[in-house]
């Protein structure tokens, strides 16, 4: 074990800890929770495993929200900007509020060092949620650097803001994930705050560490952490030039293990700048924990090369290092998936913290029993979600309509001014529509079922950064594979195709419009467009 990983005090804690006793922690009742900045669900899943029941999760990133929904269909996921969320319906109904707020730059222009000095940061929005919900406890996690950011001024401002909210902050602690059954040298600062009416009656005890350190061997093979070897999955690959360099790096090595001429060629100007730069051309070691995962395993400054194979870590290996279970799916492009995993709180670390907070909740509940009806609170949270149109199942439509044709509008556009579809056209198609010669518009892989296809008569393309100008008549709506327009697309990638006939220009030049469009679609009226100022 490398000397910088474990210190004598840490080893003593691991040998004398109460991990197995604390592992038995169970909630006295159903404890409700709200999670902000939920990401792909690392913290949320760990708290869920500990016994918390999430009634609402807020996340801005679309693909991360899709990941949450596909894995936990019963979670109420509010997809959108936290600034737009009104939390007051949940006031006094929530036991725990949690979240890893992004560490934005703080302004120190204020003199109080309290809430006023957090304005403009996402911590302020977390603080607003605390003020509106009044949970018994709230939990924040962030990068280790928050502790020393701006000489400690940032953390001091956060301390004062928490005090102003009416909460007592437990002395923050940086937890090393590697001490909590996580095969990764990741460190996070954890903030626990208890509402003042309970703070002087209870005390929080930090979780005890596990008795040993987990390594990549534990992550990738059947054993104590996982019941099977890591499953196959997609992953990034190296370009030939980089692969040839990485093949020269031994297990656990980095750029310094390359021949001197290779070092100079690979490092470029960095070779002469000094410093360790040990993340460059770094190959991990099977018998040590991973370095902290980042948003991509193949960034030059933070290389995460497989210990034994010359390739970046793949998606499932990344997920296992973060202790996500193998059943946890990640949606979006490969880059989206790496980003979601790399930004997550390790699940086992969150699980350990969650059990410690459960013990705190039990102590609070013993002092002041609370009869919370989870079903009622869950319904309140569900009513807060913005409406999301159901999606047409394009695969099912293709199966149902073997010829692909869904509708062939026959009426003249003049007979009904309301049957209009406005849509942002893709960059690939915008050039065609820009010269009024577009014959086909095809949708994304999703389309809202609330639009009545057989009634659509007219189509207006919205050109990115320009606006609208031209009017088309829809002559046919059908479903077909995207391969029809992109030979590289999968045959099973079905889209809606609109065959179009140009009618006329609505305006002499493009005009931007501000319509309430769900993503890129709108069932609207031509009349509204003709009278744009």
Q: What are phi and psi of 523, to 5 degrees?
A: -95, 105
The mean pLDDT value of the chain amounts to 88
Q: In degrees rounded to 5, what are phi and psi of residue 59? A: -150, 140
- Residue 18, judged by CB atoms within 10 A of its CB (0-12, 13-18, 19+), counts as exposed
Range in 23-37, 96-110, 477-491, 512-526 the model is least confident about:
512-526
Answer whether CATH 3.90.120 is correct for domain 230-341.
yes
Domain boundaries, the chain: 8-217+346-383, 230-341, 394-530
Residue 103 catalytic? yes
Q: What is the pLDDT of residues 308-330, one digit of tens each?
A: 999 999 999 999 999 999 999 99
Q: What is the mean pLDDT of residues 162-169?
A: 97
Mean pLDDT of the region 461-468? 82
- CA dist., res. 439 & res. 313, Å (int): 44
> Which pLDDT value is given to residue 411?
64
**What pLDDT, on a 0 to 100 scale, did the predictor assign at position 531?**
57
- Give 208-236 pLDDT, tens digit per residue: 999 999 999 999 999 999 999 999 999 99
Assigned CATH for 8-217+346-383: 3.40.50.150
Q: Mind listing the pLDDT tens digit for each residue in 130-163? A: 999 999 999 999 999 888 888 888 899 999 999 9
Report the alpha-carbon angle 445-494-470, nearest 5.
65
Residue 452 burial by CB count (10 A; 0-12/13-18/19+): exposed, middle or buried? exposed
Catalytic option among 103, 140, 305, 368? 103
Q: Which long-range contacts (CB under 8 A, 24 or more apart) does 440-443 make?
A: 440/485, 440/497, 440/498, 440/499, 440/500, 441/497, 441/498, 441/500, 442/482, 442/485, 442/495, 442/496, 442/497, 442/498, 443/495, 443/496, 443/497, 443/498, 443/521
d(CA 106, CA 150): 9
pLDDT of residue 272: 79
CATH hierarchy code of domain 394-530: 2.30.130
C-beta atoms surrounding 3 within 10 Å: 6
> Which pLDDT score is estimated for 105?
57
Residue 424 — very low, low, confident or very high, per pLDDT cuts 50/70/90? confident
Token pair for 145: 């650097």
Cα separation, 428 vs 312, whole angstroms: 31
Q: Quick one: tokens of 35?
A: 């999670």
């Amino acid at each position: 074990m490398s000397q910088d990983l474990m210190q004598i005090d840490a080893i003593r804690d691991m040998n004398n800890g109460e991990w197995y006793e604390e592992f038995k922690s169970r909630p006295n009742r159903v404890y409700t929770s709200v999670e902000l900045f939920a990401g792909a669900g690392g913290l949320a899943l760990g708290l869920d495993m500990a016994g918390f029941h999430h009634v609402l999760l807020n996340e801005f990133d679309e693909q991360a929200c899709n990941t949450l929904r596909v894995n936990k269909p019963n979670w109420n996921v509010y997809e959108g900007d936290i600034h737009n969320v009104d939390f007051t319906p949940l006031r006094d109904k929530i036991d725990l509020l949690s979240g890893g707020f992004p560490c934005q730059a703080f302004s120190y222009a204020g003199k109080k060092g309290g809430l006023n000095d957090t304005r403009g940061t996402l911590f302020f929005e977390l603080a607003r949620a605390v003020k509106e919900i009044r949970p018994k406890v709230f939990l924040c996690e962030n990068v280790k650097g928050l502790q020393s950011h701006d000489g400690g001024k940032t953390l001091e401002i956060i301390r004062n803001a928490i005090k102003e909210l009416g909460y007592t902050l437990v002395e923050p602690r940086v937890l090393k994930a590697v001490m909590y059954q996580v095969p990764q040298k990741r460190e996070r600062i954890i903030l626990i705050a208890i509402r003042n009416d309970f703070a002087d009656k209870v005390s929080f005890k930090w979780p005890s560490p596990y008795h040993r350190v987990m390594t990549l061997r534990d992550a990738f093979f059947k054993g104590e952490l996982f019941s099977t070897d890591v499953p196959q999955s997609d992953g990034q690959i190296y370009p030939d030039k980089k692969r040839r360099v990485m093949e020269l790096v031994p297990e656990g090595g980095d750029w310094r293990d390359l021949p001197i001429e290779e070092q100079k060629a690979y490092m470029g100007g960095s070779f002469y700048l000094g410093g360790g730069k040990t993340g460059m051309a770094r190959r991990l070691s099977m018998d040590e924990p991973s370095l902290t995962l980042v948003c991509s395993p193949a960034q030059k400054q933070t290389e995460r090369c497989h210990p034994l194979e010359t390739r970046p870590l793949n998606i499932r290996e990344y997920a296992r290092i973060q202790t996500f279970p193998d059943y946890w799916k990640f949606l979006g492009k490969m880059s989206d998936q790496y980003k979601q995993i790399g930004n997550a709180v390790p699940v086992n670390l969150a699980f350990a913290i969650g059990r410690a907070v459960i013990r705190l909740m039990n102590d609070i509940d013993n002092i002041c029993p609370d009869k919370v009806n989870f079903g009622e609170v869950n319904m309140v949270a569900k009513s807060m979600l913005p409406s999301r149109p159901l999606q047409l199942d394009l695969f099912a439509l293709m199966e149902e309509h073997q010829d692909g044709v869904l509708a062939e509008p026959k009426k003249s556009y003049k007979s009904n001014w309301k049957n209009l579809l406005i849509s942002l056209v893709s960059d690939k198609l915008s050039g065609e529509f820009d010269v009024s010669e577009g014959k086909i518009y095809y949708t994304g892989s999703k389309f809202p079922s609330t639009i009545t296809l057989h009634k659509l008569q007219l189509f207006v393309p919205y050109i990115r950064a320009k606006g609208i100008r031209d009017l088309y008549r829809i002559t046919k709506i059908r479903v077909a594979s995207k391969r029809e327009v992109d030979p590289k697309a999968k045959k099973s990638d079905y889209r809606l195709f609109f065959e179009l006939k140009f009618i006329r220009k609505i305006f002499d030049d493009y005009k931007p419009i501000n319509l309430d469009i769900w993503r890129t679609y709108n069932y609207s009226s031509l009349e509204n467009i003709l009278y744009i100022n």
